[in-house]
Amino acid sequence: MRFLLVEDNRDLAASVKARLSMDGHGVDVAHSLAEAGDCLQAASYDLILLDIMLPDGDGRDFLARHRKAEGATPVIVMTARSAVSDRVDALDTGADDYITKPFDFAELEARCRAVLRRRGGVAQATRTFADLVFDQMAATLAVAGDLRDLRTREMRLMELFIAAPGRILSKEHLVDRLFSFSEPVSDNAIEVYVGRLRKKMLGSRARIETVRGLGYRLTETPE
């Protein structure tokens, strides 16, 4: 998944980015609303983490403009304001969730997972396709009952494929979803991660098919 973090406290931003990157997410950081607007013009995101008090304005105004422009990206508001009225105001403006600073990283990660599950219409952490059972919380893939552990990038790649079985996903799309602007990406990075995921899927009827010149798609071999 690719996140946009809008936070002017550089130490906090660096810590949050490092923690989410460890989970395999691509995280772009904006230290102002102007930078956040530039990021939204240049890329699409699965989730926005938005501070309220920023040097060039109020994050709630940014959120209101984003929703008015029919921006559907889920937003978690992060702020030191803890009054009920502040939380209600943020939610009424269009936030999907709210977390008060200082927060525990484990709680932030859990809220991110919950918002993304709700956005995808998935109540559970597991997804199935053919004889695969993908557990996002445990970072495992079960092939006909045989449990295999997934590394962070393998897990994020599996999330993309299993959310859109049969759909062709281009290399450009996969790079955009897995990496941030600041991460160096080699020409064969996607091939490497697809190859690793294919090994974890050995023995399954499901397979990641290469569509020459277009990308990859998750398909099923008939029994």
Q: Where are the domains of the chain?
A: 2-119, 126-220
In percent, how much of the chain has pLDDT > 70?
96
Indicate the residue type of 150: L
Whole-model pTM: value is 0.72
In percent, how much of the chain has pLDDT > 90?
60
Question: What's the fold here for domain 126-220?
Answer: Arc Repressor Mutant, subunit A (1.10.10)
Average pLDDT over residues 96-122: 85
Mean pLDDT lowest for which of 120-129, 174-183, 205-214?
Answer: 120-129
Q: State residue 107 phi and psi, 5-degree precision.
A: -70, -40
* Secondary structure E strands in 110-186: 126-129, 132-135, 140-143, 146-149
For residue 148, what pLDDT is reported?
Answer: 95
pLDDT at 125 over 70: no
What proportions of the chain, in percent to the nearest 5, are helix, strand and coil? Answer: 40, 25, 35
The pLDDT tens digits for 180-202 are 888 888 879 999 999 999 999 99
Indicate the residue type of 103: F
Q: Residue 90 — pLDDT band, cuts 50, 70, 90?
A: confident
Is 2-119 CATH 3.40.50.2300?
A: yes
How many Å is the Cα radius of gyration of the chain? 18
Q: Which residue has the higher pLDDT, 122 or 173?
A: 173
pLDDT at 15 over 70: yes
